[in-house]
């Protein structure tokens, strides 16, 4: 019997502790913690009047504080206030949703009114994103490591504001590359057509000063650290169009003289496509992926005639100095494509 009597005492002690904790949180002005602690219990049917009073008071005080702060921030007219404004609108929305499941009678007693904040939230988020993108871009543009570290904070805010922001991936990539000890660059090939070693060498052959000083060519034996960024140029497809000779024949006349003119066009194209992928050394998370397509095109026009040269027009006579030329090999055209890919890669690494 001694143990049976102890159970109600323990329950009473737990209830008193819970009440005291809620009261202490309220007195410490931790209004959101009060709501987080009590609201689920009320929604579950626990109608403790004292707790409901704490929640009601916390709800109105927190919303009032946020509303006054938002108005004061807007009055400054400064662009850097919008991230805080957006977060405060989010807090107000969260509180409103936390109490939405309260019984109708309880909501009426506490003067609960559903808040329509979607328009304000959207406007505040747009302003916040614009500021965060502009600030991070400005800091990353200085080339300073200290500024890049500060930019990282704004980029993190942008991620929490909108993970789908169109500038986020590039900013994360730029920040990681500014802060990296090394930017390791390698070429990978997952297509069916083999690439000559010279292709890889040309893609990774940068002129002095063309890319940042921390860019280093990597091989499969290069060991990464968490302070590195890995850039992989992945070639996924190589398309070689067959050599084609297009011909158009027509007749020209001059008085009683006639000539047959044939315009010839030699054609061959190689297209290399894939993606430049940026990985953070800390966890090897992909930062971004930039698709690419580079094309090497061979085209040569020349003209031949059959008949009386004197019948040729001045335009045809001007083309008669042209002649067919040897068709370049696949490897030489791949090297030409590699030069273009090298320029594209260097531009990405300079961003």
**What confidence tens digit (pLDDT) does each residue in 173-230 have?**
899 989 999 999 999 988 677 788 999 999 999 998 999 989 999 877 788 888 899 9
Q: Is residue 182 part of a domain?
A: no
**What confidence tens digit (pLDDT) does each residue in 288-337 have?**
899 999 999 999 999 999 999 999 999 999 999 999 999 999 999 999 99
% of the chain at pLDDT higher than 70 = 93
Measure the CA dihedral 291/173/341/198, to 10°: -120
Selection from 12, 27, 19, 120 nearest residue 74 by Cα: 120
For residues 103 and 198, membership in a common domain is answered with no
- Model confidence at 106: pLDDT above 80: yes
For residues 51 and 151, membership in a common domain is answered with yes
For residues 70 and 106, membership in a common domain is answered with yes
Q: Is residue 220 part of a domain?
A: no
**What confidence tens digit (pLDDT) does each residue in 69-78 have?**
999 999 999 9
DSSP 329: P
Q: What is the pLDDT of residue 5?
A: 41
For residues 122 and 16, membership in a common domain is answered with yes
For residues 73 and 162, membership in a common domain is answered with yes
- Burial class of residue 124 (count of CB atoms within 10 Å of its CB; 0-12, 13-18, 19+): buried
Q: What is the pLDDT of residue 74?
A: 96
Three-class secondary structure of residue 164 per DSSP? coil
Name the packing angle between helices 49-76 and 2-27 (round to 10°): 20
For residues 17 and 120, membership in a common domain is answered with yes
For residues 304 and 336, membership in a common domain is answered with yes
Selection from 271, 252, 273, 275 nearest residue 262 by Cα: 252
**What confidence tens digit (pLDDT) does each residue in 249-269 have?**
999 999 899 999 999 999 999
For residues 122 and 203, membership in a common domain is answered with no
Q: What is the pLDDT of residue 194?
A: 79
Q: What is the pLDDT of residue 4?
A: 38
Q: Which of 154, 177, 200 is the last residue of a domain?
A: 177
Q: 88 is written with which tokens?
A: 């405060």
Give the number of domains in the chain. Answer: 2
Using pLDDT thresholds of 50, 70 and 90, give the confidence band for residue 282: low
Report the C-alpha gap between 233 and 341 in whole angstroms. Answer: 9
Do residues 122 and 161 lie in contact, with contact meaning Cβ atoms separated by under 8 Å? no
For residues 28 and 135, membership in a common domain is answered with yes
For residues 173 and 198, membership in a common domain is answered with no
Write out the residue range of the structural domain in which residue 260 sits. Answer: 191-211+237-276+286-350
Using pLDDT thresholds of 50, 70 and 90, give the confidence band for residue 285: confident
Report the C-alpha gap between 202 and 290 in whole angstroms. Answer: 19
Q: What is the pLDDT of residue 189?
A: 87
Cβ neighbours, 10 Å, residue 3: 6
Query: Is the whole model's pTM more than 0.95, yes or no?
Result: no
Using pLDDT thresholds of 50, 70 and 90, give the confidence band for residue 2: very low
Using pLDDT thresholds of 50, 70 and 90, give the confidence band for residue 155: very high
pLDDT, the chain, mean:
90
**What confidence tens digit (pLDDT) does each residue in 21-53 have?**
888 999 999 999 999 999 999 999 888 888 899
Q: What is the pLDDT of residue 20?
A: 61
For residues 262 and 121, membership in a common domain is answered with no
Q: Is residue 300 part of a domain?
A: yes
| Cα 31 to Cα 35, 44, 95, 121, 313, distances in angstroms | 6, 20, 10, 21, 91
Using pLDDT thresholds of 50, 70 and 90, give the confidence band for residue 1: very low
Do residues 274 and 292 lie in contact, with contact meaning Cβ atoms separated by under 8 Å? yes
52-82 b/e (C-beta count within 10 Å ≥ 16 → b): bebbbebbeebbeebeeebeebeeeeeeebb
Q: What is the pLDDT of residue 284?
A: 66
Measure the CA dihedral 138/141/146/149, to 10°: 70
Selection from 101, 24, 91, 20 nearest residue 59 by Cα: 91
For residues 253 and 119, membership in a common domain is answered with no
Three-class secondary structure of residue 124 per DSSP? helix
Higher-pLDDT residue of 8 and 346 is 346
Higher-pLDDT residue of 282 and 246 is 246
| Mean pLDDT score, 108-115 | 92
Helix (H), strand (E) at residue 236 = strand 228-240
Q: What is the pLDDT of residue 283?
A: 55
Report the C-alpha gap between 22 and 14 in whole angstroms. Answer: 12
Phi and psi at residue 256, to the nearest 5°: -100, 15
């Amino acid at each position: 019997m001694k143990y049976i009597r102890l159970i109600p005492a323990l329950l009473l002690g737990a209830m008193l502790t819970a009440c005291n904790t809620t009261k202490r949180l309220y007195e410490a002005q931790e209004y959101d913690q009060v709501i987080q602690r009590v609201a689920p219990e009320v929604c579950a049917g626990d109608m403790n009047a004292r707790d409901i009073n704490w929640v009601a008071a916390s709800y109105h005080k927190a919303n009032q504080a946020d509303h006054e702060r938002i108005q004061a921030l807007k009055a400054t007219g400064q662009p850097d206030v919008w991230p805080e404004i957006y977060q405060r609108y989010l807090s107000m929305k969260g509180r409103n949703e936390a109490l939405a499941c309260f019984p109708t009678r309880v909501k009426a007693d506490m003067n609960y009114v559903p808040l329509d904040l979607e328009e304000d939230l959207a406007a505040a988020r747009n302003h916040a994103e614009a500021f965060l993108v502009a600030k991070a871009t400005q800091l990353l543009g200085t080339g300073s490591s200290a500024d890049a570290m500060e930019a990282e904070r704004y980029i993190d805010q942008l991620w929490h504001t909108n993970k789908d922001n169109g500038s986020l991936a590039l900013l994360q990539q730029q920040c990681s590359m500014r802060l990296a000890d090394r930017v390791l660059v390698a070429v990978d090939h997952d297509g069916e057509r083999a690439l000559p070693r010279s292709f890889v060498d040309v893609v990774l052959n940068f002129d002095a000063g063309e890319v940042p000083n921390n860019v280093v060519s990597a091989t499969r034996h290069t060991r990464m650290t968490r302070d590195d960024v890995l850039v992989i140029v992945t070639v996924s497809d190589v398309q070689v169009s067959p050599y084609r000779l297009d011909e158009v024949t027509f007749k020209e006349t001059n008085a009683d003289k006639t000539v047959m003119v044939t315009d010839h066009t030699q054609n061959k194209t190689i297209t290399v496509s894939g993606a430049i992928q940026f990985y953070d050394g800390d966890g090897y998370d992909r930062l971004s992926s930039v698709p690419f397509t580079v094309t090497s095109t061979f085209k040569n026009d020349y003209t031949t005639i059959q008949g009386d040269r004197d019948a040729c027009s001045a335009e045809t006579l001007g083309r008669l100095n042209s002649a067919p030329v040897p068709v370049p090999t696949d490897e030489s055209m791949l090297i030409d494509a590699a030069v273009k890919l090298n320029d594209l890669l260097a531009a990405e690494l300079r961003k």
